[in-house]
Amino acid sequence: MSSYCTMAEAAEYMSTRFGADAWYSAAKLPFPVISEIIFTSGSTGTKYSITVVTDEYGTGSIVTTIYTGTSANTEFGTWLLEDVNSKLYEVTYYLDEDEAQQFYISQRSVVSPQYQALVTATAAIDRLNFIGTILVEGQTNQFPRTGATEVPDNIKIACMEEALSLLEGRDPNMEFENLRMLTQTYANVKSAFDPGIVAEHIISGITSSIAWRYIRPYLRDLNSTRFNQV
């Protein structure tokens, strides 16, 4: 799985758009998501940071480093610790019977709806027909493309906006089916749809009109065809 942006980028973007923690509140997770657990050693008074890394075999492990920041210590409890690849691990921070601070990491997979939405949004974007060619033969995604070495910020924003749309319950298949609806009646209210006016983003598999406005400048004519080398 791959995404045009990381969970951290999405969280920062959504916090500026909607407020703090908006990204993680968009879908229910069993425990709060944090990037590190901060604690103070009772014996030395030194502050430490606990993070999680995933090795080449997919196993998560705890890494302890000296903490030099200013954040307060983390409360005891169970948290979802996020590694650099947006994988989530349940980590329980507690005091044992000898009043010693302990950390237990569960290898049970925790699937983040947010990251799944980012991956799905990236796949939807990559199905479109973009101007230019991919930067490196065999690269995973359609961006970066020739003339650039990084994914454009607008494509990242489009990915995050489409992910948010998916988390809010919009289904691309349902949106497409609705294009064929001529009339809709609810109670005494009747709505009519003009089938001659086709929403470009829906017909192209993008549910968010905001995302589409960021994507559209990078696209070829919608009637053109893209051929991939095999």
What is the tens place of the pLDDT at every residue in 52-103? 988 888 888 999 999 999 999 999 999 989 887 778 899 999 999 888 899 9
Contact 92, 77 (CB under 8 A): yes
Length of the chain: 230
Residue at token pair 């924003």: 157
Using DSSP, state whether 15 is helix, strand or coil: helix
* Percentage above 70 pLDDT, the chain: 82
pLDDT at residue 150 in the model? 93
Lowest mean pLDDT among 122-136, 152-166, 174-188: 174-188
Between 175 and 140, residue with greater pLDDT: 140
Q: For residue 24, what pLDDT is reported?
A: 75
Locate 150 and state its tokens.
């990084």
| Structure confidence at residue 188 (pLDDT) | 58
Does 195 have pLDDT greater than 80? no
Are the C-beta atoms of residues 167 and 113 closer than 8 Å to each other?
yes
Q: What's the whole-number mean pLDDT along residues 183-201?
A: 57
> How confident is the prediction for the chain on average, in pLDDT?
83
What string of DSSP letters covers 142-202? S-SBTT-SS--HHHHHHHHHHHHHHHTT--HHHHHHHTT--EEEETTEEEE--TTS--HHH
pLDDT in tens, 204-228: 889 999 999 999 999 987 655 454 5
Residue linked to tokens 């070495």: 149
- Per the confidence metrics, is the pTM higher than 0.85? no
In the prediction, which pLDDT does 228 show? 53
- Name the 3-class secondary structure at 90: strand
pLDDT at 230: 43
Residue showing tokens 């994507």:
215
CA distance 50 to 34: 11
Are 165 and 205 in contact by the 8 Å Cβ rule? The answer is no
Which tokens sit at 161?
């906006």
Query: Is the confidence at residue 13, as pLDDT, over 80?
Result: yes
Is residue 170 predicted with pLDDT exceeding 60? yes
Name the amino acid, one letter, at 144. P
What are the pLDDT digits (tens) for 99-110? 889 999 987 767
